Structure 1
């Protein structure tokens, strides 16, 4: 994963952000059901209010927390839920899994595999599922969901794959033209007992 740290924010900008945080919360909005609570053609836009108070979240009706993926190769991650909040990070890998940990209007607070959190607009997320290979050594992608099954490929830590389904301790993924099974505890982007279908 590649992230770029932006320049420090001037004090005046911090004061504006603080003032925005004290504004009343915006009313709930109706959103889609693709896992992001987003309409796919919506662009990054500012909600009626930028209140970032944790108690003022407005939910899409979808479970929180939940895993989604980044829709594009450039996603601005802000310090709060609105365009007046500064960009702190830029994620540059479409398909990378992130976990939605909170919602406010059309904004989603996300967390990456390293625990970094920030706010992104719902239109930058996709309900498609993906995983990141974890650990310190390569993992074996197997033809079937069994430790004795034939090896299809070796995947290095940090490799991103499309998640197809999970059953028991195994998850089926597509990566680099290969399809196979990884053990659930070798990846990040799916919960320990979560059932995922195609």
Structure 2
């Protein structure tokens, strides 16, 4: 009877040990944005790991690829990957202008709409709804519509 209890306890412990890894990665990947003035990306999921990047771009969009406790494996717009504390991230959607030349920001979500202004690649802003290839984009309070292909942080992560 003791051997049976030991086997059952071992089987239960193994099942429980396997569950958090699966549960941790539920809901990933997803979009997030940096929610701090200064955020460190590390080479591993812990404060003892070396810092690989220091971000000073609030609202910079990132893709969360994996979770491990309070740490998130992220990918930035340049494709660099590393670990960041969950407290430095927000689920608020953001985007960064990409591509060559200035992106045209329109009053309505269509190419023939009134041109509001042009935005250079690298500008970060908050992302609103996206539909039919256009996204609402708020760059420091200046709101308009941008072509989705000119923004990194749109679509499925």
TM-score (norm 2): 0.83
Alignment of 1:87-166 (within 5 A): 87-166=51-130
> Is contact 1:164-1:172 (8 Å) kept?
yes
Deviation at 1:57?
A: 6.6
Q: 1:169 aligns with which of 104, 118, 133?
A: 133
Structure 1 CA distance for aligned equivalents of residues 105 and 19 of structure 2: 46
Q: Residue 75 and residue 27 in structure 1: after superposition, are their counterparts in 2 closer, same or farther (change >3 A)? A: farther
Q: Which runs of 4+ in 1 moved over 6 A?
A: none
Q: Secondary structure at the match of 1:149?
A: coil
Partner in structure 2 of residue 85 of structure 1 = 49
Matched, 1:185 2:149: yes
Q: Secondary structure at the match of 2:24?
A: coil
Q: 2:24 aligns with which of 59, 69, 86?
A: 59
Structure 2 CA distance for aligned equivalents of residues 180 and 101 of structure 1: 29
Structure 2 CA distance for aligned equivalents of residues 151 and 140 of structure 1: 7
Deviation at 1:88?
A: 1.2
Q: Could you list the per-position Cα deviations for residues 74-113 of structure 1 after superposition, in whole angstroms to 9, with x for gaps in the alignment?
A: 1111110011111111111111000001111110000011
> Is contact 1:109-1:117 (8 Å) kept?
yes
> Is contact 1:58-1:103 (8 Å) kept?
no
> Is contact 2:95-2:125 (8 Å) kept?
yes
Question: What is the number of equivalent residue pairs in this alignment?
Answer: 141
Structure with greater helix percent: 2
> Is contact 1:153-1:178 (8 Å) kept?
no
